[in-house]
Structure 1
Amino acid sequence: MRGAGAWAPLCLLLVAAAQHSRPQLSERPVFTCGGILTGESGFIGSEGFPGVYPPNSKCTWKITVPEGKVVVLNFRFIDLESDNLCRYDFVDVYNGHANGQRIGRFCGTFRPGALVSSSNKMMVQMISDANTAGNGFMAMFSAAEPNERGDQYCGGLLERPSGSFKTPNWPDRDYPAGVTCVWHIVAPKNQLIELKFEKFDVERDNYCRYDYVAVFNGGEINDAERIGKYCGDSPPAPIVSETNELLIQFLSDLSLTADGFIGHYKFRPKKLPTTTALPVTTTFPVSTTSLKPTVALCQQKCRRSGTLESNYCSSNFVLAGTVITTIPRGGSLHATVSIINIYKEGNLAIQQAGKNMSAKVLVVCKQCPLLRRGLNYIIMGQVGEDGRGKIMPNSFIMMFKTKNQKLLDALKNKRC
Structure 2
Amino acid sequence: MRGAGAWAPLCLLLVAAAQHSRPQLSERPVFTCGGILTGESGFIGSEGFPGVYPPNSKCTWKITVPEGKVVVLNFRFIDLESDNLCRYDFVDVYNGHANGQRIGRFCGTFRPGALVSSSNKMMVQMISDANTAGNGFMAMFSAAEPNERGDQYCGGLLERPSGSFKTPNWPDRDYPAGVTCVWHIVAPKNQLIEVTFEKFDVERDNYCRYDYVAVFNGGEINDAERIGKYCGDSPPAPIVSERNELLIQFLSDLSLTADGFIGHYKFRPKKLPTTTALPVTTTFLATTSLKPTVALCQQKCRRSGTLESNYCSSNFVLAGTVITTIPRGGSLHATVSIINIYKEGNLAIQQAGKNMSAKVIVVCKQCPLLRRGLNYIIMGQVGEDGRGKIMPNSFIMMFKTKNQKLLDALKNKQC
| TM-score normalised by structure 1 residue count | 0.80
Instruction: Count how many residue pairs are aligned between Structure 1 and Structure 2.
Output: 415
Q: Distance in 1 between the 2:278 and 2:297 partners? A: 26
Between stretches 235-244 and 165-174, larger displacement belongs to 235-244
Kindly tell me: are residues 79 and 243 of structure 1, through their superposed partners in 2, closer, same or farther at Cα, counting changes over 3 Å? Answer: same
Given that 1:116 and 1:154 are in contact with CA atoms closer than 8 Å, whether structure 2 keeps it comes out as yes
Structure 1 residue 62: deviation in Å?
A: 1.7
What whole-Å deviation, never above 9, does each CA across 1:91-143 have from its counterpart, x for those lacking one?
A: 22211112222212223322211110000011122334444443332222111
Given that 2:288 and 2:384 are in contact with CA atoms closer than 8 Å, whether structure 1 keeps it comes out as no
What SS does structure 1 have at the residue aligned with 2:2?
Answer: coil
Structure 1 residue 307: deviation in Å?
A: 6.9
Q: Distance in 1 between the 2:9 and 2:407 partners? A: 48
Between stretches 243-252 and 295-304, larger displacement belongs to 295-304
Structure 1 residue 72: deviation in Å?
A: 0.6
Given that 1:240 and 1:280 are in contact with CA atoms closer than 8 Å, whether structure 2 keeps it comes out as no
Kindly tell me: are residues 15 and 221 of structure 1, through their superposed partners in 2, closer, same or farther at Cα, counting changes over 3 Å? Answer: same
Q: Distance in 2 between the 1:100 and 1:282 partners? A: 44
User: What residue is the counterpart of 2:269 in the other structure?
Assistant: 269
Given that 1:335 and 1:362 are in contact with CA atoms closer than 8 Å, whether structure 2 keeps it comes out as yes
Given that 1:157 and 1:183 are in contact with CA atoms closer than 8 Å, whether structure 2 keeps it comes out as yes
Structure 1 residue 47: deviation in Å?
A: 3.4
Between stretches 378-387 and 390-399, larger displacement belongs to 390-399
Given that 1:360 and 1:388 are in contact with CA atoms closer than 8 Å, whether structure 2 keeps it comes out as yes
Kindly tell me: are residues 128 and 145 of structure 1, through their superposed partners in 2, closer, same or farther at Cα, counting changes over 3 Å? Answer: same
Given that 1:227 and 1:282 are in contact with CA atoms closer than 8 Å, whether structure 2 keeps it comes out as no
What whole-Å deviation, never above 9, does each CA across 1:182-230 have from its counterpart, x for those lacking one?
A: 2222233333334333333333344433333333333223333333333
Superposed CA RMSD in Å reads 5.0
* Percent of aligned pairs with the same amino acid: 98
Given that 1:351 and 1:357 are in contact with CA atoms closer than 8 Å, whether structure 2 keeps it comes out as yes
What SS does structure 2 have at the residue aligned with 1:403?
Answer: helix
Between stretches 167-176 and 263-272, larger displacement belongs to 263-272
What whole-Å deviation, never above 9, does each CA across 1:34-79 have from its counterpart, x for those lacking one?
A: 3322222222233343344444443322211111110111112223
Q: Distance in 2 between the 1:98 and 1:349 partners? A: 34
Structure 1 residue 147: deviation in Å?
A: 1.1
Between stretches 296-305 and 18-27, larger displacement belongs to 296-305
Between stretches 136-145 and 404-413, larger displacement belongs to 404-413
Structure 1 residue 401: deviation in Å?
A: 6.3
Kindly tell me: are residues 398 and 275 of structure 1, through their superposed partners in 2, closer, same or farther at Cα, counting changes over 3 Å? Answer: closer
What SS does structure 1 have at the residue aligned with 2:401?
Answer: coil
Structure 2, unaligned stretches of length 5 or more? Answer: none
Kindly tell me: are residues 137 and 240 of structure 1, through their superposed partners in 2, closer, same or farther at Cα, counting changes over 3 Å? Answer: same
| TM-score normalised by structure 2 residue count | 0.80
Between stretches 390-399 and 38-47, larger displacement belongs to 390-399
Q: Distance in 2 between the 1:145 and 1:343 partners? A: 51
Given that 1:227 and 1:281 are in contact with CA atoms closer than 8 Å, whether structure 2 keeps it comes out as no
Q: Distance in 2 between the 1:271 and 1:329 partners? A: 18
Kindly tell me: are residues 384 and 159 of structure 1, through their superposed partners in 2, closer, same or farther at Cα, counting changes over 3 Å? Answer: closer
Given that 1:151 and 1:176 are in contact with CA atoms closer than 8 Å, whether structure 2 keeps it comes out as no
What SS does structure 1 have at the residue aligned with 2:31?
Answer: coil
Kindly tell me: are residues 361 and 91 of structure 1, through their superposed partners in 2, closer, same or farther at Cα, counting changes over 3 Å? Answer: farther
User: What residue is the counterpart of 1:161 in the other structure?
Assistant: 161
What SS does structure 1 have at the residue aligned with 2:289?
Answer: helix
Between stretches 53-62 and 38-47, larger displacement belongs to 53-62
Between stretches 389-398 and 94-103, larger displacement belongs to 389-398
Between stretches 148-157 and 323-332, larger displacement belongs to 323-332
Kindly tell me: are residues 390 and 93 of structure 1, through their superposed partners in 2, closer, same or farther at Cα, counting changes over 3 Å? Answer: same
Structure 1 residue 378: deviation in Å?
A: 4.6
Given that 2:289 and 2:384 are in contact with CA atoms closer than 8 Å, whether structure 1 keeps it comes out as no
Q: Distance in 2 between the 1:281 and 1:38 partners? A: 64
What whole-Å deviation, never above 9, does each CA across 1:349-386 have from its counterpart, x for those lacking one?
A: 11234544322223446566665666655544443332
Kindly tell me: are residues 283 and 26 of structure 1, through their superposed partners in 2, closer, same or farther at Cα, counting changes over 3 Å? Answer: farther
Between stretches 337-346 and 372-381, larger displacement belongs to 372-381
Q: Distance in 1 between the 2:219 and 2:281 partners? A: 16
Q: Distance in 2 between the 1:95 and 1:351 partners? A: 26
Structure 1 residue 276: deviation in Å?
A: 18
User: What residue is the counterpart of 2:404 in the other structure?
Assistant: 405
Q: Distance in 1 between the 2:71 and 2:247 partners? A: 18
Q: Distance in 1 between the 2:252 and 2:282 partners? A: 22
Given that 1:227 and 1:283 are in contact with CA atoms closer than 8 Å, whether structure 2 keeps it comes out as no
Structure 1 residue 148: deviation in Å?
A: 1.8
Given that 1:179 and 1:252 are in contact with CA atoms closer than 8 Å, whether structure 2 keeps it comes out as yes
What whole-Å deviation, never above 9, does each CA across 1:155-190 have from its counterpart, x for those lacking one?
A: 222223333322222232222222222222223333
Between stretches 235-244 and 250-259, larger displacement belongs to 235-244
What SS does structure 1 have at the residue aligned with 2:295?
Answer: helix
User: What residue is the counterpart of 1:327 in the other structure?
Assistant: 326
Q: Distance in 2 between the 1:120 and 1:29 partners? A: 25
Q: Distance in 1 between the 2:146 and 2:279 partners? A: 31
Q: Distance in 1 between the 2:92 and 2:243 partners? A: 25
Between stretches 51-60 and 342-351, larger displacement belongs to 51-60
Structure 1, unaligned stretches of length 5 or more? Answer: none
Between stretches 125-134 and 162-171, larger displacement belongs to 125-134
Given that 1:332 and 1:364 are in contact with CA atoms closer than 8 Å, whether structure 2 keeps it comes out as yes
Between stretches 59-68 and 223-232, larger displacement belongs to 223-232
Q: Distance in 1 between the 2:279 and 2:42 partners? A: 43
